[in-house]
Amino acid sequence: MQTALDVAMHGGLMRFSKLFGLTVALGLSVWAGCVAFASELETSDVNLAEIDLLDRYWIIREEYAPPILPCQPDAPCGETAKLNVLPLQGGNPARIRRIYGQMAALSAASNVPDPHPDQPAICAVSAAQSAGVAGVYVPDGWNPKRLTKSAKNEGLRGLTAVQVDLSGLPGPRGWEGDFGADLQERVITRFEEEGLRVLTKDEVETHPGKPQMAVYLSHTNYDTGCWWSIFSSVTETAVLTRDLNVKLRSGIWSQSVGYSADDPDRSEFDAVTVIIETFLADWRAANALDFEVTNVPPYRWDEAGNLIPNEDG
């Protein structure tokens, strides 16, 4: 059921008529490519002909990404758009109305279709509230602060590819052969055998989350007597739950291995291969059918890009 909104859009400025003397909530969100305005009033509740109307104005900012061609495997290549909506408030209300009228006249003079084919759709708030998927911010809706902390290695779930390049990793003193290149060949072979694609530095820039694996090797210091140690991590881009405008690179997996007197013959090369196998084992476990997901959204996106009920929710 549609809310009592008189909608007109020209060049990103949107006017919504508010029912005078009745409460209309100010909540709004962007859901599944449409703009949802939270309203406590529906057209069935009142005869609009008997009520005076006031205008409210909203400004929309669209972050548009054109299609990326040619498409790369496992990479988003279709066009995407993210909408941000804010109330246009303060200043001179009469001036805002004039700007709206000028934009309307300019659109009409330029033969711009009304409604414009690219204008965001207005969807029902109830649909947005029931979605509960990442990116939805509505009253009593999805809130990242309400999520339970995910289990260890759950960040590996759904990972289909990772960028890793160990070809430049220097070997220990006296190592025969190309230490880094041989390790990189081992990584590519094992990852491909497991079904995990190795991304190049260029490919990872367009891959969701930009996952990267790094290996840091501290060689034995014969002057101090400190033995070698190795640390590896997998990182992805992430946002802070306290401030969703802060985007960082954060670790989703890590492992460290060092010299052990119990296995003095294990080399640094062998230790890196142990790290690789440990990562693959954790990745398999996180993507197993019986893996218990901590936070299951009630809805999910299917392969066609449609929002459907999540059977696991």
Which of 163, 13, 4 lies closest to 85, judged by CA?
13
pLDDT digits (tens, 9 = 90+) for 202-231: 999 999 999 999 999 998 888 887 898 999
Average pLDDT over residues 250-269: 90
Predicted confidence band at 307 (pLDDT cuts at 50, 70, 90)?
low
Encoded tokens for 9: 């859009």
Average pLDDT over residues 255-284: 92
Average pLDDT over residues 152-156: 93
pLDDT digits (tens, 9 = 90+) for 1-43: 333 333 333 334 554 444 333 323 334 444 444 555 544 334 4
DSSP secondary structure string for all residues of 40-101 = S-BGGGS-GGGS-EEEEEEEEEEEEE---SSPPTTS--S-EEEEEEEE--SS-HHHHHHHHH
pLDDT at 154: 94
| Strands annotated E in the chain | 8-10, 13-19, 28-31, 34-37, 53-65, 80-87, 121-122, 161-163, 197-199, 212-218, 229-239, 247-258, 299-301, 307-309
Name which of 15-29, 132-146, 154-168 the model is least confident about. 15-29
Which of 227, 237, 233 lies closest to 204, judged by CA?
237
Residue ranges of the domains in the chain? 8-142, 154-286
* Residues 36, 133: Cα–Cα separation, whole Å: 14
pLDDT digits (tens, 9 = 90+) for 58-103: 777 777 776 665 666 565 555 566 777 777 766 677 777 778 788 8
pLDDT at 10: 35
* Residues 125, 131: Cα–Cα separation, whole Å: 10
Q: Are 38 and 28 in contact (CB under 8 A)?
A: yes
Question: 286 φ, ψ to 5°?
Answer: -70, -25
Average pLDDT over residues 147-166: 93
Q: Calculate Rg over the CA atoms of the chain.
A: 27
Q: Under 8 Å CB-to-CB from 53, ≥6 apart: which residues? A: 6, 17, 18, 19, 20
pLDDT at 34: 57
H or E stretch covering 228: none
pLDDT at 278: 97
Which of 9, 104, 20, 23 lies closest to 58, judged by CA?
9
Question: 95 φ, ψ to 5°?
Answer: -65, -40
Average pLDDT of the residues of the chain: 74
Classify residue 81 as left (phi > 0), alpha (psi -120 to 50) or beta. Answer: beta
Which of 251, 21, 227 lies closest to 154, judged by CA?
251
CA 169 to chain centre: 31
Encoded tokens for 251: 């670790």
pLDDT at 148: 87
Query: Residue 197: pLDDT above 50?
Result: yes
pTM for the predicted model, two decimal places: 0.56
pLDDT at 98: 79
pLDDT at 42: 40
Query: Residue 158: pLDDT above 80?
Result: yes
* Residues 290, 301: Cα–Cα separation, whole Å: 21
Average pLDDT over residues 110-131: 62
Question: 136 φ, ψ to 5°?
Answer: -100, 125
Q: Under 8 Å CB-to-CB from 133, ≥6 apart: which residues? A: 31, 142, 297, 299, 300, 301, 307
